[in-house]
């Protein structure tokens, strides 16, 4: 039996039509559902220890040293958290952006999400004045405040947040991973204290 190359079998044509029609129906359902029931965006609070908190601290620090900045700026083909136009300095949380910008005349500064904003001055490639941005939780006489600060958490964090922060910190400071024994001991004690007071 010989098949004419210009003829498409009816079963194949029907399958393609049904497949396309089904895909269009499913896509339409998703579009309508998204319009009727929009997903709520979860906004991070400033106290959650995330990038937004660090951005707020960096903003506060840059204002305290009276440095002009542009936020979420595009520099050398990369988006950066902050750009200091007078100094041609780009501050980023993204290591890839840091290394790409490093090849240009703009001076990049890489900031970890865990780094408190007050420590930015030590990383900037120019002299910065000494500023005080309120009490340092690391030096607070309250052991509960110290415990949360040691884990990089806000006071009143949940037990799950405390456990997660503890696991992350242990990876950084455990002696088996090249960490310091004293620091590891402080993190364990902070974990015990924070877990007792967690909500």
Separation of alpha carbons 72 and 135, rounded Å: 28
Using CA atoms, how far residue 92 sits from 42, 60, 121, 125, 199, in Å, is 23, 16, 14, 14, 33
Helix (H) or strand (E) segment spanning residue 57: helix 51-64
Q: Which of 40, 51, 43, 50 is nearest to 157 (CA)?
A: 50
CATH superfamily of 137-197: DnaJ domain (1.10.287.110)
Three-state SS at 95: helix
Could you read off the pLDDT of 50-65 as tens digits, one per residue?
Answer: 677 788 888 888 988 9
For the chain, the domains span: 51-123, 137-197
Q: How confident is the model at residue 3 (pLDDT cuts 50, 70, 90)?
A: low
**Greatest Cα pair distance in the chain:** 92
pLDDT of residue 14 exceeding 60, the answer is yes
Instruction: Give the C-alpha distances (Å, rounded to integers) separating 41 from 32, 38, 108.
Output: 18, 9, 31
- Residues 57 and 117 sit within 8 Å (Cβ to Cβ): yes
| From 56-60, 77-81, 162-166, 195-199, the region with the lowest mean pLDDT | 195-199
Return the CATH architecture of domain 51-123.
Answer: 3-Layer(aba) Sandwich (3.40)
Average pLDDT across the chain, whole number: 81
User: Which among 155, 166, 148, 140 is positioned nearest to 199, based on CA atoms?
Assistant: 155
Residue 189 has pLDDT above 80, yes or no: yes
What pLDDT, in 10s, does the model give residues 90-132?
Answer: 999 999 999 999 999 999 999 887 777 888 888 999 998 887 7
């Amino acid at each position: 039996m010989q098949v004419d190359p210009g003829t498409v079998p009816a079963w194949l044509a029907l399958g393609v039509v049904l497949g396309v029609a089904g895909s269009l129906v499913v896509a339409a359902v998703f579009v309508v559902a998204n319009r009727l029931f929009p997903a709520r965006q979860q906004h991070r609070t400033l106290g959650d220890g995330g990038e937004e908190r660090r951005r707020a601290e960096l903003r506060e620090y840059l204002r305290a040293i009276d440095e002009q900045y542009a936020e979420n700026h595009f520099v050398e083909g990369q988006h950066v958290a902050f750009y200091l136009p007078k100094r041609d300095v780009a501050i980023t949380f993204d290591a890839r952006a840091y290394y790409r910008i490093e090849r240009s005349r703009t001076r990049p500064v890489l900031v970890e999400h865990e780094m408190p904003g007050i420590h930015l001055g030590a990383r900037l490639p120019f002299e910065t004045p000494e500023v005080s941005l309120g009490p340092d939780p690391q030096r607070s006489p309250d052991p509960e405040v110290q415990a949360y600060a040691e884990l990089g958490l806000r006071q009143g964090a949940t037990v799950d947040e405390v456990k997660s922060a503890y696991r992350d910190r242990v990876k950084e400071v455990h002696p088996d991973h090249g960490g310091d024994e004293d620091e590891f001991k402080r993190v364990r004690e902070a974990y015990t204290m924070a877990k007792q007071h967690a909500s």
